[in-house]
Amino acid sequence: MNIKNLKPSATSKFKQGYFIPRNPHKYIGDPNKIIYRSSWENRFCQWCDIHPSILKWGSEPVPIPYPHPISGNINNYYIDFFMVTEKNGVKQSYLVEVKPEKQKYPPDKTKLNENYTAKRLMRYNAELKTYLINQAKWIAANQYAKNRGMMFKIADENFLF
């Protein structure tokens, strides 16, 4: 299934919807179908749309194959954004993923030692699974970007806010 056909979900725990750009000429693709899958992605869309250094941008631009660390299958990763910037006459292309900073690091194992509970173990396991999957995706995205003369970046709350 093409991710572009996956409509915003009313039942998601994240704010989702369609972004309406002020500068549709900057968007690569159909500017009437820009889907954001979180409030942070919505904020990033706004930034790309109005920032003068952003020449072009797109959302969920390409599938990047990556080895899923748990199933062992090859899955497709749809990175959140692509953008082309120009600064001091130099153009640079980026692949950008929007994620919380805490997902960039392994979960804190020491929390399991303090009042160990089944609920804490389940939360730790879920966070570890997310971390491992993200790492596999980001290694693939970084290599994909590098092979094409682009840069891969993660936009977290420190960048967005």
Q: For residue 1, is pLDDT > 70?
A: no
Q: For 17-35, how does the pLDDT look when each residue is reduced to its tens digit (9 = 90+)?
A: 999 999 999 999 999 999 9
Q: For 59-96, how does the pLDDT look when each residue is reduced to its tens digit (9 = 90+)?
A: 999 999 999 999 999 999 999 999 999 999 999 999 99
In a domain, 40, yes or no: yes
In a domain, 111, yes or no: no
In a domain, 39, yes or no: yes
In a domain, 71, yes or no: yes
Report the pLDDT value the prediction gives residue 2, as an integer from 0 to 100.
Answer: 59
Give the count of domains, the chain: 1
Q: Which domain holds residue 156?
A: 8-105+138-160
Quote the Cα angle for 123-66-64, to 5°. 115
Question: What CATH number did the domain enclosing 20 receive?
Answer: 3.40.1350.10
Report the pLDDT value the prediction gives residue 111, as an integer from 0 to 100.
Answer: 73
Residue 146, judged by CB atoms within 10 A of its CB (0-12, 13-18, 19+), counts as exposed
In a domain, 113, yes or no: no
In a domain, 65, yes or no: yes
In a domain, 116, yes or no: no
Q: For residue 11, is pLDDT > 70?
A: no
pTM (2 decimals)?
0.89
